Amino acid sequence: MNAPASLTRDLRADFPGLVTREGEPWHYLDTAATSQKPRSVIDAMARAMGEDYATVHRGVYSRSADMTLAYEAARRRIAELVGGSENEIVFTRGATEAINLAANSWGRANLKAGDRILLSQLEHHSNIVPWQMVAEATGAQIDVIPLTDDHRIDLDAAEAMISSEHKLVALAHVSNVLGSVLDAKRAADMAHGVGANILLDGCQAVPHMPVNVAALDCDFYVFSAHKLYGPTGIGALWARAELLEAMPPWEGGGSMIDRVTFEKTTYDAAPQRFEAGTPAITEAIAFAAAVDYVSEVGLEQMHEDEAKLVAKLRRELTAMNDVTVFGPDDSAGIVSFAIDGIHPHDLGTILDEANVAIRAGHHCAQPLMDYLGVPATARASFGLYSTQADVDALLEGIARTRRIFGKD
């Protein structure tokens, strides 16, 4: 295990992707899209794909049994990260599939014409489109919570909107564009007050802060490994055990069955009921290694260091008269902004020439862009490997871009 016990040394050394092919520092400021991977995660996945590899839940030979134990230990480790139990974690291809699972299983079984779903203006497309699809199929309707002046989900407005007709509330725990942090416990209390369930999109929360689903009192929680320094292609749906047990399967195949005949099929218990086919074995092992890494570094320490970088960048950008900075001052690891007269794509292209990587676009949040009145934003997002040098390189790149566009 290569993870350090604290942030007292340079963590960048653990991440082979943070240098260019020429060996120069790469100022990676797109962690909200996907994180770089530490060597311990890469090594864990290589071992699982190599000398340890075998299928799970099927073989009677010892290596298969060992891999099954490791795979289920990974499920247990990931459940521990969010304060859940292993029987409450379903492995999915990512948070997108996790939301689709909840929508297509719980949603189609429980929603009907006249029911309502409550979303917010800042949701990622992945927390909008699945609910639109299930609403169209069931006759349910969708309501949208506006934002406060500092771009948080307006829970005062939500409390005025919600009614007994609402059966599901689905909100981002942390916005992928604005970095605004939801008062998730208040949102859960609001939902439960009218008998609704609440799903939280934790993709941007889990990499930046401790999460405990019991303390949040949510019903569903989703997150992806690749934003938590793990591999792509795997994520998790956490759901209360009684909800999972009552939900029907949404995909059929091997592994999720109890008994199959041509007359009738019976299904396995949750969570296996929702994991049809051969699972992402090596990815699950690497997912658990990523959890080990961030746990050893310490999420609270990571959040504190990232908050300092956010504050520094927001302060510098706000001092520029032609820059609009979006989101609240205490955004979690994310700073979105726009420079008058410079398209975010042009800024991103020029920054890339100086080995600075940011995201430019609508960030899979087009309704939010419409709300903000811009076609796109530039977004800098931090990870546990981010440093003051990354902020300095970004600011230098912005100054160069302004000169190129004749703004200085």
β-pair type (197-201, 220-224): parallel
Q: For domain 11-30+298-404, which architecture applies?
A: Alpha-Beta Complex (3.90)
Strand order in the sheet with 220-224: 89-92, 235-239, 220-224, 197-201, 166-172, 116-120, 141-145
For range 246-269, the mean pLDDT = 90
Give the torsion through C-alpha atoms of 266, 270, 276, 280, to 10 deg. Answer: -160
pLDDT in tens, 63-82: 999 999 999 999 999 999 99
The whole-number pLDDT of residue 9 equals: 58
Helices (H) and strands (E) in the chain, counts: 14, 15
Domain 45-295 matching CATH 3.30.750.24: the answer reads no
Tell me how far apart the alpha carbons of residues 108 and 106 are, in angstroms, rounded to a whole number. 6
The whole-number pLDDT of residue 1 equals: 41
Q: Is the pLDDT of residue 6 over 50?
A: no
pLDDT in tens, 103-149: 999 999 999 999 999 999 999 999 999 999 999 999 999 999 999 99
| Residue 2 binned pLDDT confidence (cut-offs 50, 70, 90) | very low
Average pLDDT, rounded, for the chain: 95
Q: Is the pLDDT of residue 3 over 80?
A: no
Catalytic residue ranges: 364
139: left (phi over 0), alpha (psi -120 to 50) or beta: left
Q: Is the pLDDT of residue 393 over 60?
A: yes
The whole-number pLDDT of residue 256 equals: 86
Percent of the chain with pLDDT over 90: 92
pLDDT in tens, 142-188: 999 999 999 999 999 999 999 999 999 999 999 999 999 999 999 99
Q: Are 377 and 337 in contact (CB under 8 A)?
A: yes
pLDDT in tens, 305-319: 999 999 999 999 999
Percent of the chain with pLDDT over 70: 98
Q: Is the pLDDT of residue 346 over 50?
A: yes
| Residue 58 binned pLDDT confidence (cut-offs 50, 70, 90) | confident
Domain boundaries, the chain: 11-30+298-404, 45-295
The string of DSSP letters for 235-249 reads: EEEEE-HHHHHHSPP
